[in-house]
Structure 1
Amino acid sequence: MTRPSAKHLHGRRINPKAITGKETVADLVDDAFLAYNAGRLREGCQLFTQRMLAPESTVAMSITGALTPAGLGMSALIPLIEAGFVDWIISTGANLYHDAHFALGLSLHQGSHTADDVELREQGVVRIYDIFFDYTVLLSTDAFVREVSARPEFQRAMSSAEYHYLLGGYLLEREKALGLTKRSVLSMAHTLEVPIYTSSPGDSSIGMNVAEQALAGSRLRFDVSADVNETASIVLEAKRTGGKSAAFIVGGGSPKNFLLQTEPQIQEVLGIDEKGHDYFLQMTDARPDTGGLSGATPNEAVSWGKIDPDQLPGTVVVYMDNSVALPLLTAYALARHAPRPLKRLYGRRQAMMDRLLTEYRAALEFRNRRAEAAKG
């Protein structure tokens, strides 16, 4: 006779080998990360490498939290981009601003989170928890951003992806002049044509310096509508060419929503027939019970049309500090999956926008009828 509990006991038996110190990171994750948040990280690593990195998947990464000041741009983000594991990015402006420090040869240092902040201020030292740097790092980076943004090719309205691509080119030149390599996510994204968007262009020192340029007569403007439509076009292109859309969310916040809202933009606003992103991997310390977007689960996202309900088995949320989780996932992915061909989406933006516009025009009558019916 089969016991009633039997149906619940099909999972892998917990019977790990003893850790010897000779394990690779990938082996440690697979063999010893068996439960709790470690178990979710193992599931996330396996989802990423076994499904999200399939050739037909287009992988979007959203980034929040002070990752680049901690060196994670160099240690994790650049290797993921180079391997073709990230096809396009939505980041906070702050991460991109602090990323630029390294391309400019400026130094950040390990410090103490218990330091006296009044004393640090008096001595011209800026603190990000346990990272210290001289106030002149900000002033030097500000000056570089203003100098570059004042150049003729910037004197127009543009998407944040265009701005970051151009800025990345100048950072790449500065890296080369200083004899540096692979210091900047922006410069690497420029080289490999990985578009980088920011969901709130004014919410960082880059945006602040662009705003200063406006006071001086600059014609540079961030075209946020272009950002919304271009990101939606990337997702639509992935789906219409027989592929899948994978959302890799590091942190939460506005970049998370900006990534996920591509599907409501396609379905709800433009009226185009679509079902939602296919894969969802989030690594976060945000809780779902406070109602905030950062902690919202993929199940909740289904109700908005952001995630394809048929693909919920392809979703994982890892509750972990990303200064721990991201390096582990990066090491795991590089060990378990071969590099993928680069999609170089930046150079394909116009073609993807053409498809979006064509489908939008074809769906417009349906969208308008649906809106009228909803009025009751």
Structure 2
Amino acid sequence: MSITQFIDHHYRHFNAAALKDAAKGYKELVDQQNGKMLVTLAGAMSSAELGLSLAEMIRQDKVHAISCTGANLEEDVYNLVAHDHYVRIPNYRDLTPEDEQKLLDRHLNRVTDTCIPEEEAIRRIEKAVLEEWQKAEAEGKSYFPHEYMYKILLSGKLEKYYQIDPKNSWLLAAAEKNLPMVVPGWEDSTTGNIFAGHCIKGDIKSSRTVKSGIDYMMYWAEWYMATATKNKVGFFQIGGGIAGDFPICVVPMLSQDLGHEDVPLWSYFCQISDSTTSYGSYSGAVPNEKITWGKLAIDTPKYIVESDASIVAPLMFYYILGK
């Protein structure tokens, strides 16, 4: 029995039914209506190795743009070059503060049950991307954070360090297609902190060598209008936070702040989240709330799967791929 057949047969009620309905809606938009889909990545989905399924979605043209946190941008590359040096801690809930200090002493940075090795992952990428920052500055140019990552991946300079099959890197798949991307709040990522450090030390003279979040929003507005006026555009949100809130806001910005008429609303919305609805929580807000902000229409297909994205997203992606 294929995964598609399994879901069709067993997933009939509650979150299981929401998962199947949302996956069918995704397929209908992309396959039958020639729509485009934005996927947003919050949390630590790259360290959860979502690339095992997301990379193929990108290669098969089921994903047409990505919004991700700076952490997800860099952690996919960390996994690509340092996978064998990661340490998994299955009993992470039992760790004492002293145990955590021992991990720090070993230069292991913990994300739930997974520890990222500083030297093999973070410092290896720092060296490669610093060369690109300094080269751009010398040429008087500036690029987006994701463009620098595309450059170091496509240059081949990291290939000798690969420790996973490169087909399982979603960022490499995106780089090979030059996929449109926004990385809001990149400044609070490890690589963003490293860039600030090099600016403070004087290794980089201008912080404008890396374009900002405002530059991303202007770029994103141009992409959305060029795309949504020709094709329906869907919004597939994993988690919440800035990775989701930033790109969805382009619609009310275009219509309310810029005064453009007939700005198409999002044509599909799905969120996978384990956040409960609570006072002021964006991650836990139900889709209908977005109608009041001019993001979704009354008749926009809306889905919310209240579950763990590391479980749900690969199942949905394989369903959408017909596997």
- Which interval holds the TM-score relative to the shorter structure? 0.7 to 0.9
Question: TM-score w.r.t. structure 2 length?
Answer: 0.87
Q: Which residue of 1 aligns with 2:48?
A: 70
The answer to whether 1:271 aligns with 2:253 is no
Q: Which residue of 2 aligns with 1:169?
A: 151
Q: Which residue of 2 aligns with 1:299?
A: 288
> Aligned residues: percent identity?
23
Among candidates 32, 37, 51, match of residue 15 of structure 2: 37
User: Would the aligned equivalents of 2:29 and 2:232 in 1 still touch at CA under 8 Å?
Assistant: no
Q: Deviations over 1:314-357 (max 9, x none)?
A: 11111110110111011111116xxxxxxxxxxxxxxxxxxxxx
- Aligned-CA RMSD value: 2.2
Query: How far apart, CA to CA, are the structure 1 residues paired with 2:292 and 2:141?
Result: 35
Higher relative contact order (CA 8 A, sep 6+): 2
Deviates more, 1:270-279 or 1:285-294: 285-294
Q: Which residue of 2 aligns with 1:101?
A: 78
Instruction: Output aligned runs, 1:220-259, within 5 Å.
Output: 220-241=209-230, 243-259=231-247
Q: Which residue of 2 aligns with 1:198?
A: 183
The answer to whether 1:60 aligns with 2:38 is yes
Q: Which residue of 2 aligns with 1:181?
A: 166
Q: Which residue of 1 aligns with 2:109?
A: 126
Deviates more, 1:193-202 or 1:177-186: 177-186
Query: How far apart, CA to CA, are the structure 2 residues paired with 1:295 and 1:155?
Result: 45
Among candidates 121, 136, 140, match of residue 152 of structure 1: 136
Question: TM-score w.r.t. structure 1 length?
Answer: 0.76
User: Would the aligned equivalents of 2:228 and 2:264 in 1 still touch at CA under 8 Å?
Assistant: no
Q: Which residue of 1 aligns with 2:303?
A: 316
The answer to whether 1:208 aligns with 2:193 is yes
Q: 1:159 to 1:166 in 2, by over 3 A?
A: closer
What SS class does the counterpart of residue 333 from structure 1 fall into?
Answer: helix
Deviation at 1:35, TM superposition (A): 1.0
What SS class does the counterpart of residue 69 from structure 1 fall into?
Answer: coil
Query: How far apart, CA to CA, are the structure 2 residues paired with 1:207 and 1:308?
Result: 36
Q: Count matched residues.
A: 308
User: Would the aligned equivalents of 1:61 and 1:248 in 2 still touch at CA under 8 Å?
Assistant: yes
Q: 1:233 to 1:297 in 2, by over 3 A?
A: farther
Deviation at 1:87, TM superposition (A): 0.6
Among candidates 319, 334, 338, match of residue 321 of structure 2: 334
User: Would the aligned equivalents of 2:87 and 2:114 in 1 still touch at CA under 8 Å?
Assistant: yes
Among candidates 39, 54, 57, match of residue 80 of structure 1: 57
Instruction: Output aligned runs, 1:341-356, within 5 Å.
Output: none
Deviation at 1:106, TM superposition (A): 4.8
Aligned amino acid, residue 40 of structure 1: A
Q: Which runs of 5+ in 1 are unaligned?
A: 1-22, 337-376
Q: Which residue of 2 aligns with 1:91?
A: 68
Aligned amino acid, residue 103 of structure 1: L
